[in-house]
């Protein structure tokens, strides 16, 4: 790896307090994702109480995950300015306020704002912070630590999937939201466990760079990534100029503020572009099976609602197990992580595209387990792959931008699929469409290897040309010194 380019934070303890951070991340993932993906349980009561159209009421459940992911774009500057602890605690409080005020909602349109916007933004702040802290606290064990942390989302989905129906039965929907608002405040408590890492001294930075220069373990992803990632400790050339020591203009301040949210270098990076498109296609195919698999089991296979709802539980169990297992396996090396991520992304699309073949309840259990396994592995790997490809110094921005550009997929995937089902009466067609999309996303992700190989060749040419020039310069100096001696 070239000097100044890194995929690990030199401050990362790779254990110790890092495991406390993993626990806090696990809890916040369980809360933020758990309440988001169990909206379907609450939907029936809201439809009965407000007597609105299903399409009108269902938008509440689409706004929340959309804003959860869109928050990733704006979370990065807040994290850099205020730190992990403040942002995560603020997110938990905002999410709890959204749930509590939803209990007072007089109509569905108020829930768009309270349940959808407020809770979505709060959950997004919790989710992004819980992701990036683990990346900074771990290096060698990053995949395993991330797998443990993101397993919280699967556990949260299972927990709220079982608890919410019981709360609704006993407390009705308004007091259920109040009770779950109290649970969301647990996220504020564990958010206090995000202890800031110590500052890096100049000596530590120099030692790290020297170690990277002399490392003999560089692989293709390491080398290519090193050619494109700047170090967080490098100083911009403009800062050394006396002409920039004065106060900046308002226009410059606005530009720099925008640059905190939208990193042009990342946005124009072809690797990031391919990664984002693959993620968007995956997100289209991720939300639909969770929404329509139970309904397909009821209306196509004739199963009871109770047996149909169990299919989502099978997805959740497989999801949790795969995040733990594949998170541990993926710590082997970066190349293995890359091919594992691309493979499971493709396979998740394949199994959904083959939905017409799953014609019995037993086969639907197989589908649920396979889909949960493949998607769980991808969710555990994608933040780690971002670090591998774009560097630890850019994880806040790269993760936030990826989540932001994919947020609209969560907003429109379920409504579009519902429109297709209403128009055609075919429950398999949406699965085929989103499955093919996710499959194409996986195949597109493999093309990152071509970009890496091209940059690897360019990097070697640059290194060889510099070495040749240096050798020629030393030879000429040696010749001149001998001529004058």
Which is nearest to 283 in space by CA: 414, 88, 98, 126?
414
The predicted model gives 70-97 an average pLDDT of 90
Q: 307 and 425: one domain?
A: yes
Q: Is residue 143 part of a domain?
A: yes
In a domain, 213, yes or no: no
- Domain boundary among the residues 244, 261, 278 is at 261
What sign does the CA torsion over 33, 37, 38, 43 have? positive
The answer on 290 and 189 residing in a single domain is: no
Q: CA-to-CA distance for 250 and 248, rounded, in angstroms?
A: 7
| Per-residue pLDDT at 484 | 52
Residue 169 lies in a domain: yes
Q: What is the CATH number of the domain that holds 31?
A: 1.20.1250.20
- Report if residue 319 sits inside a domain: yes
pLDDT tier at 326 (50, 70, 90 boundaries)?
A: confident
Report the predicted TM-score, pTM, of the whole model to 2 decimal places.
0.71
Is 100 part of any domain?
A: yes
Residue 204 falls inside a structural domain: no
- Give yes or no: residues 343 and 458 share one domain: yes
- Look at 91 and 36; give whichever has higher pLDDT: 91
Tell me, what's the pLDDT at 150? 86
Q: Does residue 129 sit within a domain?
A: yes
Could you read off the pLDDT of 422-440 as tens digits, one per residue? 888 898 999 999 999 999 9
Buried b (16+ CB within 10 A) or exposed e, 175-204: ebbbbbbebbbebbebbebbbebeeeeeee
Q: Are residues 192 and 277 in the same domain?
A: no
Mark whether 53 and 191 lie in a shared domain: yes
Confidence of residue 44 (pLDDT cuts 50, 70, 90): confident
Is 50 exceeded by the pLDDT of residue 308? Answer: yes
**Is the same domain home to 355 and 435?**
yes
Give the separation between CA 258 and CA 365, rounded to whole angstroms: 47
pLDDT attached to residue 236:
38
Q: What is the pLDDT of residues 340-380, one digit of tens each?
A: 989 999 999 999 999 999 999 999 999 999 999 999 888 88
pLDDT band at residue 24, thresholds of 50, 70 and 90?
Answer: very high
146 and 276 in a single domain? The answer is: no
- Tell me, what's the pLDDT at 12? 66
pLDDT category at 214 given cuts 50, 70, 90 is very low
Q: Is 83 helix (H, G, I), strand (E, B) or coil?
A: coil
Write out the residue range of the structural domain in which residue 401 sits. Answer: 265-463
Percent of the chain residues past pLDDT 90, beyond the cut:
28
Same structural domain, 190 and 315: no
Say if residue 168 is in the same domain as residue 269.
no
**236 is written with which tokens?**
């911009």
pLDDT in tens, 227-258: 444 444 443 333 333 333 344 444 444 444 45
Same domain, residue pair 338 and 447: yes
Mean pLDDT along residues 249-272: 63
d(CA 190, CA 183): 12
pLDDT in tens, 199-213: 655 455 455 455 444
Q: Are residues 155 and 285 in the same domain?
A: no
- Verify that 368 and 449 share a domain, yes or no: yes
Tally the domains of the chain.
2
**Which are the contacts of 169, defined by CB distance < 8 A and separation ≥ 6?**
none
Buried (b) or exposed (e) across 347-365, using 16+ Cβ within 10 A?
A: bbbebbbebeebeeeeebb
In-domain check, residue 99: yes
Beta-carbon contacts of 150 under 8 Å, excluding residues fewer than 6 positions away, are: 29, 131, 323, 327, 379, 380
pLDDT tens for each residue of 441-468: 999 988 888 777 776 665 545 554 555 5
Q: Percentages helix, strand, coil for the chain, rounded to the nearest 5?
A: 80, 0, 20
C-alpha of 256 from chain center: 25
Domain stops at, among 208, 232, 261:
261
The whole-number pLDDT of residue 201 equals 54
CA end-to-end distance (rounded Å), the chain = 41
């Amino acid at each position: 790896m070239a000097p100044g380019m890194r995929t690990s934070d030199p401050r990362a303890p790779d254990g110790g307090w890092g495991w406390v951070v993993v626990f806090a991340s696990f809890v916040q993932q369980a809360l933020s994702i758990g309440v988001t993906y169990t909206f379907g349980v609450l939907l029936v009561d809201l439809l009965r109480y407000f007597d609105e159209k299903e399409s009108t009421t269902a938008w509440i459940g689409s706004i929340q995950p959309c804003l959860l992911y869109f928050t990733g774009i704006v979370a990065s500057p807040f994290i850099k300015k205020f730190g992990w602890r403040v942002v995560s605690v603020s997110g938990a409080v905002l999410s709890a306020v959204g749930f509590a005020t939803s209990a007072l909602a007089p109509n569905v349109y108020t829930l768009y704002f309270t349940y959808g916007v407020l809770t979505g933004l709060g959950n997004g702040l919790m989710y992004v912070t819980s992701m990036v802290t683990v990346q900074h606290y771990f290096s060698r064990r990053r995949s395993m630590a991330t797998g443990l942390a993101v397993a919280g989302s699967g556990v949260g989905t299972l927990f709220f999937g079982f608890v919410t129906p019981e709360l609704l039965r006993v407390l009705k929907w308004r007091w259920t939201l109040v009770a779950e608002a109290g649970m969301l405040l647990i996220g504020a408590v564990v958010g206090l466990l995000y202890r800031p890492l110590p500052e890096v001294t100049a000596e530590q930075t120099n030692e790290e760079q020297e170690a990277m220069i002399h490392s003999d373990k560089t692989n293709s992803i390491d080398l290519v990534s090193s050619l494109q990632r700047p170090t967080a400790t490098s100083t911009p050339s403009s800062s050394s100029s006396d002409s920039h020591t004065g106060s900046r203009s308002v226009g410059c301040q606005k530009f720099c503020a925008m640059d905190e949210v939208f990193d042009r270098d990342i946005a124009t990076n072809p690797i990031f572009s391919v990664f984002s498109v693959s993620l968007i296609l995956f997100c289209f195919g991720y939300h639909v099976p969770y929404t329509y698999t139970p309904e397909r089991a009821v209306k196509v296979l004739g199963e009871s609602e109770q047996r149909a709802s169990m299919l989502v539980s099978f997805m959740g169990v497989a999801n949790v197990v795969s995040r733990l297992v594949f998170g541990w396996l993926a710590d082997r090396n970066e190349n293995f992580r890359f091919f594992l991520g691309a493979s499971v992304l493709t396979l998740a699309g394949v199994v959904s595209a083959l939905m017409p073949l799953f014609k019995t309840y037993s086969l639907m259990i197989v589908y649920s387990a396979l889909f949960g396994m493949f998607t769980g592995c991808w969710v555990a790997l994608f933040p780690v792959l971002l670090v591998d490809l774009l560097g630890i110094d850019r994880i806040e921005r790269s993760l936030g931008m990826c989540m932001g550009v994919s947020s609209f997929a969560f907003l429109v995937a379920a409504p579009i699929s519902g429109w297709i089902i209403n128009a055609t009466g075919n429950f398999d067609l949406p699965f085929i469409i989103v499955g093919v999309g996710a499959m194409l996303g996986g195949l597109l992700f493999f093309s990152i290897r071509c970009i890496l190989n091209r940059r690897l060749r360019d990097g070697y040419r640059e290194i060889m040309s510099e070495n040749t020039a240096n050798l020629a310069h030393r030879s000429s100096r040696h010749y001149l010194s001998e001529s004058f001696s």
